[in-house]
């Protein structure tokens, strides 16, 4: 077998992207295209009492203005799993600041933007809950799932523990800010709807659009060929996409709605604020006797979103007594959503900061503390299908030079700069969903492979090409991968780190199906296929076939019942803190992951690098600020909402711990899109504590918190 899988193959779509030939949703050019621009509310609660669109209607180039008065009626209420409640002009109620209240449709984006500024709304204002702390806490029950997990008696064990740490950790609201903002181009052809959508999943977007417009799924086609980053923000269908399709219906022309950067802080989801209590009880040697992880998280007043923030506390360490709870608070904001490792990113900041605090309380090295609490089973007693936490900690420590660390806080310096070294552990679950694939082998010895899966920038085009090429016995250059069209075989969202495991398995099985048919043509003589493309071409010609197809419908088996399946990792950060200014620079970053089979070392390391960059943003910079008087976001732009730039990011070294897990799926992958951020912020926060002796438990770690 040629060793294509695993090789650091260059991105097959790289040339298209750097030459601008890759077309993103906002760039789709259709004849007679009109441009929609949303008008957003300027109050966080109440209703639109009156809306004056006369001036907007008279403005140059305006085709129509859509408000609740003339908007087509749609089903905005029904919801499938993972859907968010849409705000699509079916009534006048306002639940959050920057909620869409009208769409101006014009012949150009500039005309629509100008006219949108002329719309005047008068509100009947109602009291808004703008402060998280003012909102009542409740236990979510959606989907019939218990958000809590209890084993033993964690509070009794905590009370009796020889050593304990018990603190509260806060992660603020963060916004995704992918390079490509959301954009939708919608076109009707009679009752058939085609939507070019910046989405992580064309099949789920099709399902939702069909439901909203009362169409059969076959009446809707969703296309997403190239996506400039999703991070969960493009994992559900948002109001603007439906508004684009409604606008197109209203004016009888295709309509594009492309969000501006400030609108990316509007109705499209974000990471909810979380307040977590983590209490650890341990014996004198640091072995955990109790772990309490209680999360209170933000949701909206009209919708419910909950991430499994505490879930990793059932996975990372063994403890006889465990309590994990999740509660929500309703505030007048848009509805939060998935954002890169939705639960684990925040949960790991709390748990892995607490583990660092416990290491100091016990007086044991933080890596040794984690190794002493390593476990072979999860909290439900299921064995791990594979678990490389120890290897990640050990290999990472070696590469990072952990042994050079003087454990005493504020003990290491570089000139006048305080130096700190921090570590954190990481884990992320491995799931898969049903997926299908189609492989067409042609008489010229090339192949086309189709899956509805979307490449959101991770390298899916490339790794799927590798998987198919290897199974077919063809070189990468002879395989053409086609993705991102709901007309192609079913695939789940590029989310939850599941697409590669799901669609990749289907692609492998479809390619093996084609290979088996080729072998049958060859009289089951493998030697007849040994010549690769030329041999396959000759075989099809002899058989008089123009094409030969392989199919597969792949789905998970009962492996989730038998094994706990997770990736594991370790994060190491070195920081320099200016003792006078309180500024923190990350000077070095090393991470190590055991994440099953790595299909492409180059694209995989890009994911791990991206996770570290996100960790730096989470630890030091990202913070969506609300005006508590109005519920309005005050920094809805990239000048005031800070993300890491190149100068903030040091060299990041990523170690791949080889792992051969036969249980997870046909291609042995665990998924790598999200684990890179898990624990990254905690490693930096722990390094800051080591450098300064100041423990910051509310992100981001800003100079005022260090100097305060
Ligand atoms: Mo990921 S936050 O499930 O796209």
Listing DSSP states for 521-551 in one string gives HTTT-GGGGTTHHHHHHHHHHHHT-SEEEEE
* Residue among 229, 308, 338, 676 to mutate when testing ligand 1 (max atoms within 8 A of CB): 338
Strand partners for 295:
276, 326
* Residue among 84, 175, 201, 232 to mutate when testing ligand 1 (max atoms within 8 A of CB): 232
* Cα-to-centroid distance, 541 and ligand 1 (Å): 45
| 674 tagged catalytic | yes
* Cα-to-centroid distance, 49 and ligand 1 (Å): 38
Q: Tokens in use for 99?
A: 């909620």
Nearest to 459 by CA among 599, 603, 602, 595: 603
Q: Tokens in use for 179?
A: 């390079």
* Residue among 495, 498, 614, 618 to mutate when testing ligand 1 (max atoms within 8 A of CB): 495
Calculated CA dihedral for residues 640, 643, 647, 653, nearest 10 degrees: 170
Buried b (16+ CB within 10 A) or exposed e, 409-428: bbebeeeebbbbbbbbbbbb
Cβ-contact 445, 458 below 8 angstroms: no
Task: Give the DSSP per-residue string, 41-56.
Answer: -S-SSEEEEEEE-HHH
Indicate if ligand 1 lies below 6 Å from the C-beta of 200: yes
Indicate if ligand 1 lies below 6 Å from the C-beta of 178: no
- Give the C-alpha separation, 681 to 348, whole Å: 8
- From the alpha carbon of 496, which atom of ligand 1 is closest? 3
* Cα-to-centroid distance, 229 and ligand 1 (Å): 11
Buried b (16+ CB within 10 A) or exposed e, 520-542: ebbeeeeebbeebbebbbebbee
Segment 497-555, tens digit of pLDDT: 999 999 999 999 999 999 999 999 999 998 988 888 999 999 999 999 999 999 999 99
Indicate if ligand 1 lies below 6 Å from the C-beta of 346: no
- Give the C-alpha separation, 530 to 543, whole Å: 17
- Which residues in 619-686 belong to E strands, given as ranges? 626-627, 632-633, 652-656
Tell me whether the omega of the peptide bond preceding residue 700 falls within 30 degrees of 0, making it cis: yes
- Give the C-alpha separation, 203 to 208, whole Å: 9
Cβ-contact 366, 355 below 8 angstroms: yes
Phi, psi at 652, each rounded to 5°: -110, 125
Indicate if ligand 1 lies below 6 Å from the C-beta of 199: no
Up-side HSE of residue 369: CA atoms within 13 Å toward CB? 25
Q: Find the helix packing angle between 460-472 and 499-521, rounded to 10°.
A: 30
* Cα-to-centroid distance, 496 and ligand 1 (Å): 5
The protein residue with its alpha carbon nearest to ligand 1, atom 4, reads 232
Q: Domains plus CATH for the chain?
A: 25-127+179-229+234-265 (3.30.365.10), 274-431+561-707 (3.30.365.10), 433-555 (3.30.365.10)
* Cα-to-centroid distance, 54 and ligand 1 (Å): 42
pLDDT-flagged residues of the chain (< 50):
1
Nearest to 167 by CA among 360, 353, 422, 370: 353
Q: Tokens in use for 392?
A: 């990640």
| pLDDT for 144 | 74
Q: Tokens in use for 618?
A: 């989470």
Cβ-contact 136, 129 below 8 angstroms: no
Q: Indicate the SS3 state at residue 103.
A: strand
- Give the C-alpha separation, 65 to 71, whole Å: 9
Q: Indicate the SS3 state at residue 567.
A: strand
Q: Indicate the SS3 state at residue 649.
A: coil
Up-side HSE of residue 126: CA atoms within 13 Å toward CB? 13
Indicate if ligand 1 lies below 6 Å from the C-beta of 235: yes
Indicate if ligand 1 lies below 6 Å from the C-beta of 697: no
- Which residues in 458-511 belong to E strands, given as ranges? 479-482
Indicate if ligand 1 lies below 6 Å from the C-beta of 339: yes
Length of the chain: 708
- For residue 102, CA distances in Å to 69, 75, 182, 631 come to 10, 18, 18, 20
- Output the CA angle 527-531-532, nearest 5 degrees: 115
Strand partners for 672:
none
Q: How many CB atoms lie within 10 A of CB 646?
A: 6
The secondary structure of the chain in percent helix, strand, coil, rounded to multiples of 5, reads 30, 25, 45
| pLDDT for 335 | 97
Nearest to 499 by CA among 491, 489, 507: 491
Q: Find the helix packing angle between 680-692 and 601-616, rounded to 10°.
A: 50
- From the alpha carbon of 456, which atom of ligand 1 is closest? 4
Q: Indicate the SS3 state at residue 194.
A: strand
Strand partners for 102:
39
* Cα-to-centroid distance, 458 and ligand 1 (Å): 12
User: Edge-to-edge strand order for the sheet containing 192-197?
Assistant: 62-66, 100-106, 34-40, 255-258, 183-189, 192-197, 220-223
* Cα-to-centroid distance, 341 and ligand 1 (Å): 6
State the pairing for strand pair 479-482/447-450: parallel
């Amino acid at each position: 077998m040629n060793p294509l899988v695993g090789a650091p193959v260059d991105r097959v779509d790289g040339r298209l992207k750097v030459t601008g030939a890759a077309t993103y949703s906002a760039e789709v050019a259709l004849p007679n295209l009109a441009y929609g621009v949303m008008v957003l509310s300027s109050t966080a609660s109440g209703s639109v009492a009156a809306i004056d669109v006369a001036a907007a209607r008279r403005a140059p180039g305006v085709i129509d203005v859509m408000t609740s008065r003339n908007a087509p009626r749609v089903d905005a209420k029904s919801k499938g799993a993972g859907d968010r409640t849409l705000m699509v002009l079916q009534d006048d109620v306002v639940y959050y600041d920057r909620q869409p209240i009208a769409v101006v449709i014009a012949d150009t984006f500039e005309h629509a933007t100008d006219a949108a500024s002329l719309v005047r709304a008068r509100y009947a204002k109602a009291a808004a809950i703008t402060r998280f702390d003012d909102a009542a806490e409740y236990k979510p029950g959606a989907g019939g799932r218990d958000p809590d997990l209890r084993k033993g008696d964690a509070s009794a064990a905590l009370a009796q523990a020889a050593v304990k740490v018990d603190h509260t950790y806060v992660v603020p609201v963060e916004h995704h800010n992918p390079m490509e903002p959301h954009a939708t181009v919608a076109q009707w052809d009679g009752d058939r709807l085609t939507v070019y959508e910046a989405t992580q999943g064309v099949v789920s977007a099709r399902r939702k659009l069909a439901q909203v417009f009362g169409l059969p799924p076959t009446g809707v086609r969703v296309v997403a060929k190239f996506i400039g980053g999703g991070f969960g923000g493009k994992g559900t269908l948002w109001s603007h996409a439906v508004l684009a399709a409604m606008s197109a219906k209203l004016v009888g022309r295709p309509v594009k709605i492309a969000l501006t950067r400030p609108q990316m802080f509007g109705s499209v989801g974000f990471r909810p604020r979380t307040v977590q209590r983590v209490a650890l009880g341990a014996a004198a040697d640091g072995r955990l006797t109790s772990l309490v992880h209680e999360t209170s998280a933000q949701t909206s007043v009209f919708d419910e979103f909950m991430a499994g923030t505490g879930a990793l506390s059932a996975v990372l360490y063994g403890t006889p007594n465990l309590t994990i709870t999740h509660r929500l608070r309703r505030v007048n904001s848009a509805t939060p959503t998935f954002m890169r490792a939705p639960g684990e990113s925040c949960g790991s900041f709390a748990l892995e900061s607490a583990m660092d605090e416990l290491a100091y309380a016990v007086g044991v090295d933080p890596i040794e503390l984690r190794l002493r609490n390593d476990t072979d089973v999860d909290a439900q007693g299921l064995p791990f299908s594979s678990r490389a936490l120890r290897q990640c900690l050990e290999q990472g420590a070696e590469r990072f030079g952990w042994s050079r660390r003087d454990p005493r806080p504020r003990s290491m310096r570089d000139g006048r700069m305080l130096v700190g070294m921090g570590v954190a552990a990481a884990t992320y679950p491995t799931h898969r969903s049903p997926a299908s694939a189609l492989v067409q082998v042609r008489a010229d010895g090339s192949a086309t492979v189709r899956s509805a899966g979307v490449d959101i920038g991770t390298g899916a085009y490339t790794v799927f090409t590798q998987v198919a090429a290897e199974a077919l016995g063809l070189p990468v250059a002879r395989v053409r991968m086609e993705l991102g069209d709901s007309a192609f075989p079913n695939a789940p969202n590029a989310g939850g780190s599941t697409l590669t495991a799901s669609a990749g398995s289907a692609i492998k099985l479809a390619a093996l199906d084609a290979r088996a048919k080729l072998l049958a043509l060859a009289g089951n003589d493998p030697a007849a296929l040994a010549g690769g493309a030329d041999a396959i071409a000759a075989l099809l010609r002899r058989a008089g076939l123009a094409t030969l197809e392989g199919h597969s419908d792949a789905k998970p088996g009962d492996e989730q019942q038998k094994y706990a399946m997770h990736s594991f990792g370790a994060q190491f950060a070195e920081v320099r803190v200016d003792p006078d200014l309180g500024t923190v620079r990350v000077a070095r970053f090393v991470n190590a992951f055991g994440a099953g089979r790595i299909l492409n070392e180059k694209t995989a390391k890009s994911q791990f690098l991206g996770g570290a960059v996100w960790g730096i943003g989470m630890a030091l910079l990202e913070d969506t600020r609300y005006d508590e008087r109005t519920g309005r976001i005050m920094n809805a732009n990239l000048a005031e909402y800070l993300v890491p730039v190149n100068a903030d990011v040091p060299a990041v070294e990523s170690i791949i711990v080889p792992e051969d897990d036969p249980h997870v799926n046909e291609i042995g992958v665990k998924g790598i899109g999200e684990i890179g951020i898990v624990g990254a912020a905690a490693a930096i926060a722990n390094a800051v504590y080591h450098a300064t002796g100041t423990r910051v438990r509310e992100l981001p770690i800003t100079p005022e918190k260090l100097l305060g």
